[in-house]
Structure 1
Amino acid sequence: YRFNIDPQEKIKNLTVGMQQRVEILKTLYRNADIMIFDEATAVLTPQEVNQLFGIIRRLVNEGKSIIMITHKLEEVMEICDRVTVLRNGRMIGSLEVKDTSPRKLANMMVGRDVVLDIARKDKAPGDVALEIKDIVVKDRHGKHLIDGITVQLRKGEILGIAGIDGNGQIELSGVLTGMIPAKQGKVKIGDDDVSGKKAKHFIDKKVSHIPQDRQKTGLIMEFSVMENLILQEHSKSPFCHFGIMNWKEIRRHADNLISEYQIKVPNASVPAKALSGGNQQKVILAREIDRQSNVLIAVQPTRGLDIGATEYVRSKILEQRDKGIAVLLISTELDEILALSDRIAVMYKGKFVDVFKNGKYSREQIGLMMSGGTKDVAINNVC
């Protein structure tokens, strides 16, 4: 199958793309005739996606049956012969790919027209809202998770952090929200040095955070929607007076946000665990944006969402940028980074390969940098 895998190498030393090839070989060894690929490209670079599709085509030519589960419409159009659309656990329809289009599929997935291409207008950024300098984070064994990175984030811009999962992005978001202490380096919000401060200090300095895991760190699942919508503000007026909660005001506030952010929920007293993933994300989005912060740290904001919820979340992030908020967007979805970002920083093994204005490099060149190539290698080796 021309997989070019060293059989003596340890799995932990292989790239994610190579690890995936090992999984494919395991199924081939068992003489599987039907293979299911579930979000198989989620953590791959563009180059690895092309290689995977080449492998899939060879398998199909040899008579294997392939089922691709994906939310990426461009992949459906490129690799699939037929497509079945599911919505709310029901089959909406099955089509020949040659007889459909991304727009038609999106409509079937959501039940309405969806804007697939986001209009991001160029605008001049403002003053520096957040700055990090020579930040270092190590694990308990002394291994560098972040290795001396420096960058500025300005008001009215989106800085996208591109990279394959596990290259220091989560640790970076932790440093910028006070959840992970840096071993060395400085963090400034405006003119204030907040290095080493706790999360509450960052909240008080108007830093909002959409975390990677909405259920573990974004919401308290047993709490009601209205309680989750006032987290961080629950002890302040008008929600609390002298230690007594003002439930009438809390409910009024929640009802307003539920209406404004189109959160699908029977009422504000329903626990967060009863909501769909998309509506849970809308609760977090509503809470963090309503705080009217100066900086928004958004980590994997559309992971696991359907195309309709994804469209909504992305439009709200762009809306914040247009209002002058400084947005740091961390995403493994390169298409999302390219669609939303004004500037892009490619992160690999805890370092920035390069920080550049969106449009300077092609998608393929950025993919090379994500997989460890220097910017010079990326420029000279366009796929």
Structure 2
Amino acid sequence: MFYSQPSHRAASVRAGAALLACVLGAASLVACSPAHEEDSMAGGSAQTSARKPGPITHRKGQLQLAAVPDSVGQFLKGDESKAITYYRIETGMHMGSTTEHQPRYALSLIKLYIATYVLERGSFEDKYLALDMVADSSDESAAQLFEKYPRSIDAIAKEYGLESTSAGEDWGHSMTSTYDVVRFIVQLMEDDPTHPVLVAMSHADAVSADGYQQNYGTAKLSDVVGSKWGWSDSKDRHSSVSFGENFVVAASIEGSAQELTSYVRKEITGKNLVKGNNLNKEALANPGAVATRLTTSSAAPTATSTTATPAAATSSEPSSSAPSSQPTSRTSASKTSAAR
């Protein structure tokens, strides 16, 4: 059930811009995006008679996604070559890999931060250019906007509390983490479910400005409304972030688009969603037990910090297909060609 095609509808850049015009100028934003009445399968909740708790909200810039320690939900597989983060908006359930905080090349996911900055502080014309950039992933637009707004990435990182995010010498070598991307999208959704950046993601072009297919990774989950993708020039690195009515998920891999899709499908499963929900409920009900377990775990020699800093670049890249769930290195930013 998790392998269905994404529900977002691709549109041309101009068609997307026309629709986004109503987002920028209309009094009613609800009409700009379709209604989604069914519960997201990627949200993973089985039907029960009990009423679900209301959504958990965050202060802008709040560092932690869930009401429990991040490590409670860090049971998904990941290593220095891949990471994944998932958040359920309705219940505050979080799950991810132990590598979800590691800074990695953001690739074109960084355009989400640039676009948000331009929408908040840029010129009228640049706002439309930024939204087109989200939809068609134009590198030319990214370069133009980053040159004009060089503080955009770092300013958004500070505003939204993105600890693993930083600007590079150019936009294509900037850093972020899957955790940061998810927390960023969650904050946009909480602030405005029809935020212009989210609407642009929901009307992403099927083919990017440079001719690359935008339909892989997290976008392959069911009930996805919007997505943004990233890839390196050499196509050996891929990333994506997607959101639905009640969930946000991001993943990154040193590997092909197909490998990223496979990784996402193996980790975001019904079994793991049930496990994540149970762990979240247990941690909320017994915070003392969680604190004790975390203290014991942190004393072990194999413990891994949830906050990572990028290591020095290396000339070799690890295989992206290794399924290990025990990261042997915190290095995630090895030398790469220009990112898309």
Q: TM-score, normalising length from structure 2? A: 0.30
Q: TM-score, normalising length from structure 1? A: 0.28
- The structure with the larger Rg is 1
Higher relative contact order (CA closer than 8 Å, sequence separation 6+): 2
Name the structure with the higher strand share.
1
